[in-house]
């Protein structure tokens, strides 16, 4: 059914929250003052995209838009760590691009078959066993877990085919695919029989095969959204070789040269790089020509003058198809592998409203600083990166956190704890 093909979907993904650390004390007969033994919370589950070779569309995402991984369990006494949250695996077809919805930037290309972590779970909070010191032997506090990452992403399927069939509707692309492969596309004598791309594996010889895609017919204006072509031009993006079918029979009163130029103009409008892709031109429906060969000879002279290889065939009569398939295999052997898109997504600098409430508690030489905005900030900063650490320090200074602590009597060398971040205070 045509409506079952979905090649673009927008979803929101949410990694799990980390579990809270526990406040607990060791209690055992004959053991006095056993000390703190509250365990850490478990880490929140990640959201992972994985390739499913049996999927060919993004249909599964039409009705479900929100995906959430499991939360980490809270810590417990006896230094028991909370269980990590369950990882959520999201299956997508090979060739799916994951984009950041807001910026449109590519986050990952799911064409290599490798799993990819799209959102990381929040770190678990520390139990009170971490906060015991010789001077603070009974810490009655622990840390809450941090929230996991969240993203709004757009999934975009770009088919992984070596050869893309292009041309006006009803020129015989589906027929050719059905003849040279085991694909069974719907075929009929009217425009737009193909409403979604079809893939077929073409076996040429022992150990030699390639994937061919029948792309829905492109019409003039497709690059601006006319017809079906605009929606499906993206599926030719990865094709290493284009086979351009032109109807030379004159059965619809069309001029083959004009048709050829019109399709190439649409390809150039959509992507100049795509228009420059290697192309084989095929004059199809030769069985209907009879003695009238003016159309095909005119097209042959036109395309060969531009440096294109030209083949004549009849897909319906199965003539000329073997020669075309062999030429495709020969050309593919010389071409670089299928295009993979490089990620260009740059995580934005966290925007944190620091006007909210912040609590600062003091236990001996330990300072606990907590608040909703600080929790969000700690969860989003990469502390292994120098620039990120400098940004974090700058936000705290501008928010007046250090000034408040100084007014409360913080001393050089005191320990400052902010969720699962702990550092020594320096004047």
pLDDT of residue 89: 97
- In the predicted model, what is the mean pLDDT of residues 309-335? 91
H-state helical runs in 309-400: 321-334, 372-380, 386-398
**End-to-end Cα spacing for the chain:** 70
pLDDT of residue 77: 86
Superfamily of domain 163-334 in CATH is P-loop containing nucleotide triphosphate hydrolases (3.40.50.300)
- In the predicted model, what is the mean pLDDT of residues 361-388? 85
What are 154-168's pLDDT values in tens digits? 999 887 889 989 888
- The answer, yes or no, to whether residue 222 has pLDDT greater than 50, is no
pLDDT of residue 2: 38
Mean pLDDT (the chain, rounded): 84
pLDDT of residue 34: 66
**CB atoms < 10 A from the CB of 266, how many?**
23
Q: How confident is the model at residue 175 (pLDDT cuts 50, 70, 90)?
A: confident
Q: How confident is the model at residue 248 (pLDDT cuts 50, 70, 90)?
A: confident
Cβ neighbors of 290 (< 8 A, separation 6 or more) are: none
Task: Check residues 71 and 316 and name the one with the higher pLDDT.
Answer: 71
- The answer, yes or no, to whether residue 375 has pLDDT greater than 90, is no
Q: How confident is the model at residue 364 (pLDDT cuts 50, 70, 90)?
A: confident
- The answer, yes or no, to whether residue 29 has pLDDT greater than 70, is no
- Taking phi over 0 as left and psi of -120 to 50 as alpha, with beta for the rest, 240 belongs to alpha
Please calculate the CA angle 361-367-369 and round it to the nearest 5 degrees. 65
What are the residue boundaries of the structural domains of the chain, listed by start?
1-157, 163-334, 351-427
d(CA 51, CA 126): 35
d(CA 345, CA 99): 8
- Taking phi over 0 as left and psi of -120 to 50 as alpha, with beta for the rest, 56 belongs to alpha
Q: Residue 14 phi/psi, 5° resolution?
A: -135, 115
Q: How confident is the model at residue 353 (pLDDT cuts 50, 70, 90)?
A: confident
Tokens at 165, concatenated: 């069939």
d(CA 21, CA 82): 8
- The answer, yes or no, to whether residue 190 has pLDDT greater than 50, is no
Task: Check residues 67 and 174 and name the one with the higher pLDDT.
Answer: 67
Q: Domain 351-427 adopts which CATH fold?
A: GMP Synthetase; Chain A, domain 3 (3.30.300)
DSSP 171: S
pLDDT of residue 126: 85
pLDDT of residue 3: 41
Instruction: Give the distance, in angstroms, between the CA of residue 94 and the centroid of all CA atoms in the same chain.
Output: 10
Task: Check residues 133 and 20 and name the one with the higher pLDDT.
Answer: 20
Cβ neighbors of 223 (< 8 A, separation 6 or more) are: 229, 230, 233, 266, 269, 270
Tokens at 318, concatenated: 């199965």
Query: Nearest-CA neighbor of 416 among 364, 355, 376?
Result: 364
Task: Check residues 365 and 261 and name the one with the higher pLDDT.
Answer: 261
- The answer, yes or no, to whether residue 279 has pLDDT greater than 80, is yes
Most confident of 222-231, 246-255, 376-385: 376-385
Q: What CATH class is the domain 1-157?
A: mainly beta
Query: Nearest-CA neighbor of 241 among 174, 162, 160?
Result: 162
- In the predicted model, what is the mean pLDDT of residues 11-40? 83
pLDDT of residue 194: 45
Q: How confident is the model at residue 32 (pLDDT cuts 50, 70, 90)?
A: low
Cβ neighbors of 347 (< 8 A, separation 6 or more) are: none
What are 82-103's pLDDT values in tens digits? 999 999 999 999 889 999 999 9
Beta-strand relationship, 198-205 and 208-214: antiparallel
Q: Residue 96 phi/psi, 5° resolution?
A: -80, 135
What are 98-118's pLDDT values in tens digits? 999 999 999 999 998 899 999
Dihedral of alpha carbons 410, 396, 378, 114, sign: negative
pLDDT of residue 268: 87
d(CA 266, CA 275): 9
**Least confident among 91-105, 237-251, 345-359, 367-381:** 345-359
- In the predicted model, what is the mean pLDDT of residues 375-403? 87
- The answer, yes or no, to whether residue 68 has pLDDT greater than 90, is yes
d(CA 217, CA 254): 15
pLDDT of residue 217: 59
Cβ neighbors of 120 (< 8 A, separation 6 or more) are: 15, 46, 148, 149
Q: How confident is the model at residue 16 (pLDDT cuts 50, 70, 90)?
A: very high
**Least confident among 18-22, 208-212, 250-254, 401-405:** 250-254
């Amino acid at each position: 059914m045509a409506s079952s093909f979905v090649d673009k979907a927008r979803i929101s993904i949410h990694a799990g929250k980390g579990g809270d650390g526990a406040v607990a004390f060791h209690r055992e007969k004959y053991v006095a003052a056993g000390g703190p033994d509250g365990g850490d919370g478990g880490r929140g589950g990640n959201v992972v995209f994985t390739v499913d070779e049996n999927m060919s569309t993004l249909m599964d995402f039409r009705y479900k838009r929100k995906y959430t991984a499991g939360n980490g369990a809270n810590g417990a006494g006896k230094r028991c760590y909370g269980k990590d949250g369950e990882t959520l695996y999201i299956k997508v077809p090979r060739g799916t691009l994951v984009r950041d919805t807001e910026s449109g930037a590519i986050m990952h290309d799911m064409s290599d078959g490798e799993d990819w972590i799209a959102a990381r779970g929040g770190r678990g909070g520390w139990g009170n066993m971490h906060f015991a010191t010789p001077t603070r032997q009974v810490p009655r506090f622990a840390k809450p877990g941090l929230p996991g990452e969240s993203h709004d992403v757009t999934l975009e399927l770009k088919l992984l085919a070596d050869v893309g069939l292009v041309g006006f509707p009803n020129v015989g692309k589906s027929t050719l695919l059905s003849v040279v492969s085991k694909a069974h596309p719907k075929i009929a004598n009217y425009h737009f029989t193909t409403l979604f791309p079809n893939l077929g594996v073409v076996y040429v010889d022992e150990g030699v095969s390639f994937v061919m895609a029948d792309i829905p017919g492109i019409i003039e204006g497709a690059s601006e959204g006319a017809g079906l072509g605009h929606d499906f031009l993206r599926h030719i993006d990865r094709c290493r070789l284009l086979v351009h079918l032109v109807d030379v029979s004159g059965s619809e009163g069309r001029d083959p040269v004009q048709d050829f130029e019109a399709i190439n103009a649409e390809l150039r409008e959509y992507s100049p790089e795509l228009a420059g892709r290697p192309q084989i031109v095929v004059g199809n429906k030769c069985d209907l020509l009879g003695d009238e060969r003016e159309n095909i000879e005119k097209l042959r002279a036109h395309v060969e003058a531009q440096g294109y290889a030209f083949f004549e065939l009849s897909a319906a009569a199965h003539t000329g198809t073997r020669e075309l398939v062999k030429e495709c295999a020969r050309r593919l052997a010389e071409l670089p592998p299928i295009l993979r898109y490089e990620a260009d997504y740059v995580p934005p600098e966290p925007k944190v409203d620091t006007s909210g409430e912040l609590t600062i508690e003091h236990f001996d030489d330990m300072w606990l600083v907590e608040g909703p905005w600080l929790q969000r900030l700690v969860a989003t900063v990469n502390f292994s990166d120098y620039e990120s650490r400098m940004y974090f320090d700058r936000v705290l200074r501008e928010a007046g956190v250090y000034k408040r602590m100084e007014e409360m009597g913080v001393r050089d060398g005191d320990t400052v704890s902010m969720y699962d971040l702990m550092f020594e205070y320096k004047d």
